[in-house]
Structure 1
């Protein structure tokens, strides 16, 4: 059985960018995110704000290799990077003085991948 390739050009470009960042900066976190994004999209993470609030501390950066959903309350300012955000999640994050960013932006701002927590 032949394995289907990704058809979304954003995902293929992101995976290759993450692998390149992993090689150049010798950072294992980008390799791990690339590995998770190479799986079928039905296996992508869907994380609620309640889980992010439980496991992340204020001032920390969280990366979600999938979508952030708006169920729950976010009480502190956390920087969250993900493939997609639901509308309610984005508004709740901004109301809590947090930041929403794409994974591409996080790689540009933090190429070494220091102090990044992966949530699934």
Structure 2
């Protein structure tokens, strides 16, 4: 029988709860999907490099990474990246490309309907 995963980080628990509430209140499935991806074990959580984001994104697009963004590679266009965590150099490279790196809780407030957002995993 599989062990139940219990989160101990209070900020992460609150974020998952907020995502589920927003999904229910706004009737938008994207927030529930992001919450379920964040509920996975830490070992299965996503780590995405900037080169991957550059390959799958377009100019002025909003990307959600339910995990950490790492600095390997470069961005050659402006994107908004919302993630659980950023490495310091990844945050700097995103800003140098004219984009912005924000937290998932900030994107929930800016775009409660979740329109024009792409999940990258």
Q: What TM-score, normalized by structure 2, do the two folds share? A: 0.96
Q: Secondary structure at the match of 1:57?
A: coil
* 1:15 aligned residue: 16
Deviation at 1:5, TM superposition (A): 1.2
Deviation at 1:3, TM superposition (A): 1.6
User: For the residues of structure 1 that align with 2:78 and 2:5, how far apart are their CA atoms?
Assistant: 39
Root-mean-square deviation over aligned CA pairs: 0.9
* 2:49 aligned residue: 48
Q: Does 1:68 align with 2:69?
A: yes
**What are the residue-to-residue correspondences of 1:1-120 with 2, within 5 Å?**
2-120=3-121
User: For the residues of structure 2 that align with 1:48 and 1:37, how far apart are their CA atoms?
Assistant: 18
In structure 2, list runs of 5 or more residues that go unmatched. none
Moved over 6 A (4+): none
- Number of positions where the alignment pairs a residue of Structure 1 with one of Structure 2: 120
In structure 1, list runs of 5 or more residues that go unmatched. none
Deviation at 1:4, TM superposition (A): 3.6
Deviation at 1:88, TM superposition (A): 1.0
| Cα deviation digits, residues 34-59 of structure 1 (max 9, x gap) | 00011111111000000100010011
